[in-house]
Each structure stands twice: as C-alpha cells, then as structure tokens.
Amino acid sequence: METPTNAVPPSILKPSARSMATSKWPNDPSTIDKYNWLLHVMYGRGEYDRIQQFIRVQPQTNPYMTYVQALVNRQEGRIAEALDLFQKSVVENPTLINIKQVAKSLALLGRYRVAIDAYKEALTRTTNDWEVFHNLGLCYMQLREFNEAKQYFLQALQVSEIQEASYIALGKVLLLEGERDEAEAIFERGARRNPESPTLFTHIGLLAFERAHYTKAFECFGTALTFCPTHIPAIMAACQVIQKHGDADVALSKYRIIYGRKPECAQVWNNI
C-alpha cells in the first residue's frame, strides 16, 4: 500500500538513533525549533495523536511544543492539563497570546473571576484587541454582572464594528435585563454590519413575533434561511409563524428538515 503523498513521513516523528548520536549539539534549540512547521501542519490537520507521539520522543521540548500540546489537550477536553501547560508557556514567554490562552482555559473551567484577572493582564499589553474585550464581557455575563458585561461588549464593538458575536452577546444581555427595544436596536445594528448573519435576523424576527408583527418576523426568518437554509433556530421560528396562520402541512415539512439534522430536539417532537 502506497503512502499518501500529503502524509507526514513516519520517520520524522521519531529521530533516528544515528542522527541523535552524530548530532554535534543534540539539545541545541535551533535543532528542536526546526520542526515547529511540522507541529503546525499536524495541528491544522487534526492529527492530535501524532503530535503527542512526536513530542514524547523528543529529548527536549521548546516553548512552541508546549503551546501546541496545550492546544491539543484543550481540544480533547483535558482543560486542566491544558491550563497547566499554558501557564508554563506564560512563565517561559509572557506574550499576549499565551496570557489569552490561560484566560480562555480558566473561563472554560468556570473560573470566571480569575479569567477576568488574566484578561485584564492581557489589556496591559494591548488596547485594541477585540477578543479580549469580548471575552471579558462574556465572563461578566456569566457572573450576571450585566453593567460590566455591556461596557466591555461596547468596547469590543468600538475596536471592531463588524463582530457578529459581540452584537449577539450584547443583545442577549439587554434581553436578560428586559430591555427589548434596546436589544432589537442592537440586533438591527449588527444586521446592517453583518447582512448575511442568520443568527441576527432570527433574533430580530423573534422579537417581532413577540409583538405580533408577524409579517416582519416572517421576512426576517426568510432572510436568515436564504443565507443558511439549515439554520435550525430560524426554521423553528418560521414554523411558529406558519402554525400561527394554521398551515400545519407546511410547518410539518419544515420540521422534517430539523429532525433529519437534530433528531433529539424535544421542541420539534412536541410541536409535531
């Protein structure tokens, strides 16, 4: 059986004994760093087992190996182990990206207060990183400290006005506070900046549906489905409008699309 041309040669994963013996500087960082490109390629392909195998056989690791191994652990759900490795990366090289990865891992573990401290440490190294402001807003949102959350989402949008995620998150905070008019205004502003966002149009449509503006609601759901015909929240919402008008057969045909993709959705079976 021939080896695929785009596969990484197995010999690269484990250096030969001869090469180790004849190497003049076996622990020279430049010798180790020359395989960083390979780790990058394997991570991009999702070859996590091969990455772990490659790192295990190395006589010495470098900061990039530690960083990639942490990413792999997080992708495989070992968040605590990933956090330990990211913290080691910060000690070795306290760059902005390493600090952000520590903060992200802390947030995934539900340690939002500590994650906030880490993100604020990241802000001492940059003032125009949209992701830092946005993730600070998410942490405060999880803690139900909505004023701080809104402040950071607005700062994120000042840095970058096209970020769909910040419009959605800010709108959700306003909905949690009962500010439906303001939430609708934020969703509409986001839709103008992201005219192909099915999520934003679905939120606008749902707010219109609550106010019995069924024509506007159906138009928004239709726009969402134009850009993403399998967007389940938009299909569900459109079916509610269809059922409201008594057209059960059309609603059933739409529900078939959903349970074909998400058969465990209880709401679909309830409506059927």
Query: What is the predicted pLDDT for the residue at 114?
Result: 96
Whole-prediction pTM value? Answer: 0.81
How far the first Cα of the chain sits from its last, in Å, is 51
CB atoms within 10 A of CB 177: 13
> Residue range 116-144: average pLDDT?
95
Q: What pLDDT does 250 receive? A: 80
CA neighbor of 163 nearest in space, from 138, 180, 144, 139:
138
CATH architecture of 197-272: Alpha Horseshoe (1.25)
Residue 60 gets the label, from left (phi > 0), alpha (psi -120 to 50) or beta, of beta
CATH architecture of the domain with residue range 1-126: Alpha Horseshoe (1.25)
What local confidence, expressed as pLDDT, does residue 3 receive? Answer: 46
Q: pLDDT at residue 207 above 50?
A: yes
Please provide the size of the chain in residues: 272
Q: Tell me how crowded residue 232 is: count the other CB atoms within 10 A of its CB.
A: 17
Say if residue 110's pLDDT is above 90: yes
Average pLDDT value for residue range 96-113 = 96
Mean pLDDT on 1-21: 47
Domain coordinates of the chain in residue numbers? 1-126, 127-195, 197-272
- What mean pLDDT is predicted for residues 105-132? 95
pLDDT tens string 146-185? 999 999 999 999 999 999 999 999 999 999 999 999 999 9
Confidence band, pLDDT 50/70/90 cuts, at residue 75: very high
Mean pLDDT of the region 236-260: 80
Q: Which fold has domain 127-195?
A: 1.25.40
SS3 letters across 81-123: HHHHHHHHHHHHCCCHHHHHHHHHHHHHCCCHHHHHHHHHHHH
The answer to whether 127-195 and 197-272 have equal CATH topology is yes
